[in-house]
Structure 1
Amino acid sequence: MKVVLLAESFLPHMNGVTHSLLQALRHLERRGHDALVIAPRSGPIDHSLYGARAVLLPSMPLPSYPDVRVTLASAQRLASVMREHDADVVHLASPFVLGWRGVLAAESLGIPTVAVYQTDIPSYAERYGVPGAAPALTRHLGRLHRRATLTLAPSTSAVERLESVGVERIRLWRRGVDTERFSPARRDEAWRREIAPGGEILVGYVGRLAPEKQVEDLRAIAELPGVKLVVIGEGPARPALERMLPTAAFMGFLGGDELARAMASLDVFVHPGESETFCQTVQEALASGVPVVATGRGGPLDLVQNSATGWLYRPGDLDDLRDRVRDLTGDDAKRRAFGEQARASVAGRGWDRLGDELIGHYEEAMGRRPAPVAEVAAPTPVAAPAPSPSAASAPPSPAAPRWTRYVAVGDSLTEGLCDESRMPAGQYRGWADRLAMLLAVTRTTAEPVAYANLAVRSRRVRDAVEVQLPRAAALDADLVSVLIGANDLVGRRADPHALATELGDAVTRLRMTGCDVLLVTAFMPRRPAARLFARRFRIFNARLRQLAEATGSMLLDVDARPELADDDRWAEDRVHLNASGHRGIAYAAARVLGVPDARELGALELAVHDPAEDRGRTVVGDVEWIRRHAVPWMRRRLQGRTAGDGLGPKRAELLPVIVPASNPGPAALPPTNAAPAARPAPVE
């Protein structure tokens, strides 16, 4: 693959954009791809470009910020460079000025573009005293990313920001972290004594010293008793900050191992910036085993787990910032416990995995496959009780799934509503039934797979926490799948943070029994009305990802597999999956679990089903939809009832999954052969 990477800023200035670009170049070299960088020229480069060629364009510095360079190269000039490289795809790193011309150049050549959103430039404009420019800059940002083939966003808040300006083709692509370089083992007591000879607690900030980082907010903690403030970084605001924070230790720019040593030697890391799309230094602090206090806005929302790896304080509330820092500096035991969980929370986020995801996004943009693969089996945290030997840093080995007692937990989606494929009238198959069969047919030992499905339509997180998950533990399950939350999230006054925390506590208890857990992010049809709830779903799913990492659970991230929720995957009631949708979830889950040949089995089943036929059977007009589905739903709501009232679990006990003796393959697999404990009525 020939890749052109176009960057608004580059070496010798090291910042988040440059760092991510260098990691991408290194990974492309490892995978044997041919890369070329187009960037502004701003000084000599003494860093390896990992085999990539660089075209450095004449540029000029911004008057108030000389580290930022602007180049006015024309689209024709950029197109000429892309054509000469014979580019297959163009990577736009934090595009804005040069990136806009890059989009136009690529379009003129028919080359797909992948735009990586990393800098909230309109917010920066406000911090630099030109708030009147923000609306125009926001419009330009939206126009640019709408033109790109794909946009990669580093956090759920960044996705929300982009969606607010009409960007649609968005994929989550987070940032990796070097957990070997950034490690608690780098802590240096001699360095600490040099900075704080009186033995003070070290509270530090790392990053650019510029208005958009709001470093001046550190004045709220500069005079805390027994605390020494450490500021690491350079930028145009340094002189003013040194006057404002006279007792702080200003260390200047640090990089590489020197930065890793300083980071690990801190006791608490603080980042007050509210305009961060991700915040890589927060992730590096977590990897260093340092608890974090950060503002509850932007990228840190996805990185910091309240009361586990640190604290998120109310944006702009400096009293709350001070209280959160004081909470950690005054409690050695809590600080150590948070530090251990901090380190565990970033395990499995290495740049190699993120690099492969990036290449997957390139391939999606080029049309080589429908969507990137982003199933994750998260590692077991350091401080967790010893679970069963579940996937530590990758999906289980495809040699032979080891689970023999699988229990599915959830609502109507897991019950299988509307999946009538080869089922008697009034009964449904569903993705969990299909997954149980896949586990059974791919076993290489004689021991059978037993399966229970505790799902009931209309159930909520509280039902899963108080009834279904304890029942799964009582059944001595060794694998439990959890897909729950959508019914809560579309309700009035839903709190996605509280819902995810409640579910997380229950999953943690289940993991302590040694049971493996497969979490599935909540999802809904992508229709205009769904936008009312989109933010809730994003927050809830972001917490589920953190939960997966913290508990060592496996994760099927449907947000990262948008084709799983395409319009043609939904049944005629427009809120449940049809047979095609259930097949897609089942095979995606099987791949996360490491089921042998799951991809090939899924392709085989797809080959013997006609998606258009599935869609044709499950589409009705608006009038008929209102009569069949909307009116009965409204009637139940007015009566205070739900579709699941009076119904029990679909399959209340662990019963063997019967595999046909001929084992004809997935296309002919029958459903699991136990009648439900309480037979569900046909969907209304």
Structure 2
Amino acid sequence: MRVALLAESFLPHMNGVTGSVLHVLRHLSEAGHETLVIAPKSGDVTADLHGARTELLRSVPLPSYPEVRVVFARAARLGALLRDFDPDVVHLASPFVLGWQGLAAADALRIPTVAVYQTDVVAYAQKYGLPQATALVEGHVTRLHRRATLTLAPSSASMRQLESLGVDRLRRWGRGVDATRFAPTHRDDAWRAEVAPNGERIVGYVGRLAPEKQVDDLRALADLPNTRLVIVGDGPARSSLREAIPDAVFTGHLSGDTLARVMAGFDVFVHPGESETFGQTIQEALASGVPVVATGVGGPLDLVRSSVDGWLYRPGDLDDLRARVSDLVGDDAKRQAFARAARESIAGRTWSALTKDLVGHYREARELRAIDDNLLVRGARRPAAAVASRTRGRWTRFVALGDSLTEGLCDQSRMPSGEYRGWADRLAELLAGTSEDGPFRYANLAVRSRRVRHLIDEQVPAALAMKPDLVSILIGANDLVGPHPVIPAIVAEVESAVRAVRRTGADVLLVTTFLPHRLAARLFARRFSTYNVELRRIAAEQGAILLDLEAVAELGELPLWADDLVHLRSAGHRLVAYRAAEALGVPDARALLGLDEALHADDEPARGGWVTRDALPWVWRRVRGRTAGDGLSAKHSGYVELPTRGDRERARTS
């Protein structure tokens, strides 16, 4: 099996996500699977990646937490990487920013996705005091995991959390532990004597030093008699913690055998975080034969057996935390009994066993993706929208809305001088050609230079009057290249248009915007990407059919663009038409594209004079407040009838 892993964080920054990815890479390699890692680049990677290919992308650090890197990769870039590797499944490790774009790219290629829920970013937003962002983050997490083919949650608490958000297709998949590296035999008496020279009991914590981990709660243990507090880790809260708990031992970040030796040297392990989806360091402490005191919420509920191998204290009750730790450090017999039970509890939790389960989930995702694709062709869709819809694939009245791209500007293939064809015309012919029943009616209300306000004021009302059962919407580029576009306002208007059409029971083919691969286009890439993220949300929430052209990497290649550098030539329109047909379930659409290209190779000659022919007239119109579409009307303002396959078959037999 070929597995592409998209990791929201990666080496050299080590955390739970990175550690899990490394273990999965190792055991997938040992089982004979091929892997590709797509992740943020933040430094040199010297670790053994077990034969995995890597694509480390340019990233930026979070201002308040520079160890965390964020990748703003375009879906088209990720789509190109995935197409080149040709994976059987895409594994999204703790997806959020990179994972969302990777999900879009995988969807465009119809590759199954397995999203591994590992970070409770909703709780993190709350911990960082961002109440307005919390609802946005929660909505994003919901949309992402509902869109994934399958979601793996590490604990019963995270399963319940995702279920409450309406996420379906949930499976339980925990984390493995290296029971050889983390073991009681690594206890180092010399280290213990150095840290606690007077024989104090060592109470330890291992993890990121950040507000969401609630490490500040360890102050409740600072003056516990006959104990020494050891804090292992690094992060933005380290300096404030050193001031708050000056007598604690701060080791900084530890890993490998050094971490295992220190972990085994603890007498009690404490984990105060209330936002853990799992708690890998808890599991490593148990493997090391160390009793655990953890908050009784989230991931720890599945790992710590209270009164057997540790204690679960009441969340937020620091007096209870102190009492539970005091109980164990003050009773040697109980602590030793808990320690034996702790080691026994991790039997069967090896990474080898967990990776075998993971491959089983990969196979299930492939089966589910095939079902989803079949449902799409037959007219169903996941998730189901709470609006009426006709049986998809049986459309007879198609109306195209938009600007010059949908009008077909620069697609002069087999058209009289001054007339254009375009992807929507080509799509209408494909749909009519697969229809058994006639007549098939088509209208194209798109006009060059139109903006979203024209969609609302002119095109949607005209389309609804025609009672279509399929409407395509590709618009927004003219708004986005203008000065200071207010993207939320543009999005709100598009959403209202989609909602208006869907209320009639008609289907909507919602198309993302896209750019050519040229330097000047990079100025607008962030705007287009932000807008497209919202279009994907609208499609999911309104039950629209998404044609994600931003994720089609080859569409940015310059040979597909006309000499004016802003419109598609015939080959580009052909590609869009067949991708749209594929999204609508036209059988063998991709194979038909190859045949069409072979039979209709472009013979359009390249023309010079771009500055005088295209650029200067555009600037002059802008200065005068005019557009190229002023005074123009739609080329098909009313329905035209196209012959269907049924028409042709009846003609042959008559």
Settle same-fold status: TM greater than 0.5. Answer: yes
Match of 2:125 in 1: 125
Match of 1:157 in 2: 157
Match of 2:55 in 1: 55
Please tell me whether the aligned partners of residues 111 and 369 of structure 2 are also in contact (alpha carbons under 8 angstroms).
no
Match of 1:14 in 2: 14
- Aligned letter for 1:102? G
SS in 2 for 1:171: strand
SS in 1 for 2:319: helix
- Aligned letter for 1:176? G
Deviation at 1:132, TM superposition (A): 2.1
Match of 1:305 in 2: 305
Please tell me whether the aligned partners of residues 364 and 370 of structure 1 are also in contact (alpha carbons under 8 angstroms).
no
Match of 1:285 in 2: 285
SS in 2 for 1:311: strand
SS in 1 for 2:91: strand
- Aligned letter for 2:18? T
- Alpha-carbon distance in 2 for matches of 1:179, 1:369: 35
2:272 corresponds to 1:272 = yes
Please tell me whether the aligned partners of residues 157 and 299 of structure 2 are also in contact (alpha carbons under 8 angstroms).
yes
Which string of whole-angstrom CA distances, capped at 9 and with x for unpartnered residues, describes residues 399-439 of structure 1? xxxxxxxxxxxxxxxxxxxxxxxxxxxxxxxxxxxxxxxxx
Deviation at 1:146, TM superposition (A): 0.2
- Runs of at least 4 residues off by over 4 Å: 368-371
CA 1:368/1:28 → structure 2, altered by over 3 Å: closer, same or farther? farther
Which string of whole-angstrom CA distances, capped at 9 and with x for unpartnered residues, describes residues 430-474 of structure 1? xxxxxxxxxxxxxxxxxxxxxxxxxxxxxxxxxxxxxxxxxxxxx
Deviation at 1:344, TM superposition (A): 0.4
- Aligned letter for 1:160? R
2:233 corresponds to 1:233 = yes
Please tell me whether the aligned partners of residues 37 and 55 of structure 2 are also in contact (alpha carbons under 8 angstroms).
yes
What aligned pairs does 1:530-549 form with structure 2 within 5 A after superposition?
none
What aligned pairs does 1:162-201 form with structure 2 within 5 A after superposition?
162-201=162-201
Match of 1:262 in 2: 262
Match of 2:605 in 1: none
- Alpha-carbon distance in 1 for matches of 2:126, 2:47: 33
- Aligned letter for 1:140? H
Match of 1:24 in 2: 24
Which string of whole-angstrom CA distances, capped at 9 and with x for unpartnered residues, describes residues 335-359 of structure 1? 0000000000111111000010011
Which string of whole-angstrom CA distances, capped at 9 and with x for unpartnered residues, describes residues 601-654 of structure 1? xxxxxxxxxxxxxxxxxxxxxxxxxxxxxxxxxxxxxxxxxxxxxxxxxxxxxx
What aligned pairs does 1:634-653 form with structure 2 within 5 A after superposition?
none
Match of 2:339 in 1: 339
Count of equivalent residues: 371
Please tell me whether the aligned partners of residues 94 and 115 of structure 2 are also in contact (alpha carbons under 8 angstroms).
yes
Match of 2:224 in 1: 224
Match of 2:294 in 1: 294
Which string of whole-angstrom CA distances, capped at 9 and with x for unpartnered residues, describes residues 297-317 of structure 1? 110000000100000000000
Match of 1:65 in 2: 65
SS in 2 for 1:366: helix
Match of 1:206 in 2: 206
CA RMSD of aligned residues (A): 1.3
Deviation at 1:3, TM superposition (A): 0.8
CA 1:253/1:92 → structure 2, altered by over 3 Å: closer, same or farther? same
What aligned pairs does 1:258-407 form with structure 2 within 5 A after superposition?
258-367=258-367
Deviation at 1:98, TM superposition (A): 0.7
- Alpha-carbon distance in 2 for matches of 1:369, 1:7: 21
Match of 1:410 in 2: none
Match of 2:42 in 1: 42
- Aligned letter for 1:167? V
- Alpha-carbon distance in 2 for matches of 1:72, 1:250: 34
What aligned pairs does 1:626-665 form with structure 2 within 5 A after superposition?
none
Q: Which residues of structure 2 form unaligned runs of 5+?
A: 372-654
What aligned pairs does 1:522-533 form with structure 2 within 5 A after superposition?
none
Please tell me whether the aligned partners of residues 154 and 278 of structure 1 are also in contact (alpha carbons under 8 angstroms).
yes
- Aligned letter for 1:357? D
Which string of whole-angstrom CA distances, capped at 9 and with x for unpartnered residues, describes residues 86-126 of structure 1? 11100000000111111111000000000000000011112
- Alpha-carbon distance in 2 for matches of 1:251, 1:216: 16
Which string of whole-angstrom CA distances, capped at 9 and with x for unpartnered residues, describes residues 573-622 of structure 1? xxxxxxxxxxxxxxxxxxxxxxxxxxxxxxxxxxxxxxxxxxxxxxxxxx
- Alpha-carbon distance in 2 for matches of 1:294, 1:135: 28
Which string of whole-angstrom CA distances, capped at 9 and with x for unpartnered residues, describes residues 242-268 of structure 1? 000011000111101100000000000
- Alpha-carbon distance in 2 for matches of 1:37, 1:181: 25
CA 1:180/1:303 → structure 2, altered by over 3 Å: closer, same or farther? same
Please tell me whether the aligned partners of residues 149 and 368 of structure 2 are also in contact (alpha carbons under 8 angstroms).
no
- Percent identity (aligned): 65
- Aligned letter for 1:153? A
Deviation at 1:131, TM superposition (A): 2.4
Please tell me whether the aligned partners of residues 202 and 227 of structure 1 are also in contact (alpha carbons under 8 angstroms).
yes
Which string of whole-angstrom CA distances, capped at 9 and with x for unpartnered residues, describes residues 119-163 of structure 1? 000111121221221111001100000000000000000001111
Please tell me whether the aligned partners of residues 363 and 369 of structure 1 are also in contact (alpha carbons under 8 angstroms).
no
SS in 1 for 2:367: coil
- Alpha-carbon distance in 2 for matches of 1:368, 1:48: 33
- Alpha-carbon distance in 2 for matches of 1:27, 1:131: 40
Which string of whole-angstrom CA distances, capped at 9 and with x for unpartnered residues, describes residues 169-200 of structure 1? 00000000011110000011100000010110
Please tell me whether the aligned partners of residues 201 and 329 of structure 2 are also in contact (alpha carbons under 8 angstroms).
yes
Deviation at 1:367, TM superposition (A): 1.3
What aligned pairs does 1:431-470 form with structure 2 within 5 A after superposition?
none
- Alpha-carbon distance in 2 for matches of 1:254, 1:87: 35
Deviation at 1:46, TM superposition (A): 1.1
Deviation at 1:368, TM superposition (A): 8.7
SS in 1 for 2:111: coil
- Aligned letter for 1:70? V
Q: Which residues of structure 1 form unaligned runs of 5+?
A: 372-684
- Alpha-carbon distance in 2 for matches of 1:87, 1:180: 32
- Alpha-carbon distance in 1 for matches of 2:131, 2:184: 41
SS in 2 for 1:68: strand
- Alpha-carbon distance in 1 for matches of 2:67, 2:127: 17
Which string of whole-angstrom CA distances, capped at 9 and with x for unpartnered residues, describes residues 499-556 of structure 1? xxxxxxxxxxxxxxxxxxxxxxxxxxxxxxxxxxxxxxxxxxxxxxxxxxxxxxxxxx
Match of 2:111 in 1: 111
Please tell me whether Structure 1 or Structure 2 has the larger radius of gyration of its CA atoms: 2
CA 1:310/1:106 → structure 2, altered by over 3 Å: closer, same or farther? same
